[in-house]
Amino acid sequence: MKIANSTVVSMTYTLTENDEKGLMIQEVDKDKPFVFLFGSGFLLPKFEEHITGLEMGADYSFQLKSNDAYGPTREDALMELDKNIFEVDGKIDDNILFIGNDIPMQNDEGHTLMGKVLKITDDKVRMDFNHPLAGKDLFFKGEIVAVRKATSEEIEHEHVHDGEH
């Protein structure tokens, strides 16, 4: 069976920055493959384009330029926030608020966003709400481990059900 909409795909991959020899970002092996419902909007569109039509056992490798992945780093995603919004019971928790930490926060619409702490001053915190891979070219290499038709329930729920690879 070929990868197409409404198929469940199990795959391995290594994700590196720029090219095959770049900095390793993530690795997924056959013991715990990445399993997803193809065509559900879960993956980057250009990623899906590269694996469309592949079958079980197929190897793949391709690069996604940053604009086709998570986009460029956006200046409007860098923000200065009042330090007091990080207080809990009137105190700042130094185990949470420190440079380099990723903190879940909510925007004005109530959506959760991850922000990285870049700088802390007496009264302000500089945060980066860009995706961690924004501005990076990505290189994927791996193997298609399995492809099967999705169940009607998986298609309706738009995700793979546990234990069904």
What is the CATH number assigned to the segment(s) 75-128?
2.40.10.330
For CATH 2.40.10.330, list the domain ranges present in the chain. 75-128
pLDDT tens profile 116-136 = 999 999 999 999 999 999 999
Under 8 Å between Cβ of 145 and 30: yes
For CATH 3.10.50.40, list the domain ranges present in the chain. 7-70+136-157
Q: Check residue 42 and give its pLDDT.
A: 87
pLDDT tens profile 68-119 = 999 999 999 999 999 999 998 989 988 999 999 999 998 889 889 999 999 9
Domain covering 7-70+136-157, topology? Chitinase A; domain 3 (3.10.50)
Residue from 57, 55, 11 nearest 34 by CA: 11
Query: Where does the pLDDT of residue 163 fall: very low under 50, low under 70, confident under 90, or very high at 90 and above?
Result: low
Q: How many CB atoms lie within 10 A of CB 68?
A: 16
pLDDT at 165 over 90: no
pLDDT tens profile 4-57 = 999 999 999 999 999 999 999 999 999 999 999 999 988 999 999 999 999 999
Residue from 32, 22, 35, 69 nearest 50 by CA: 69
Question: Which residue, chain included where needed, has tokens 């923000």?
Answer: 79
Strand duo 91-92 + 87-88: pairing: antiparallel
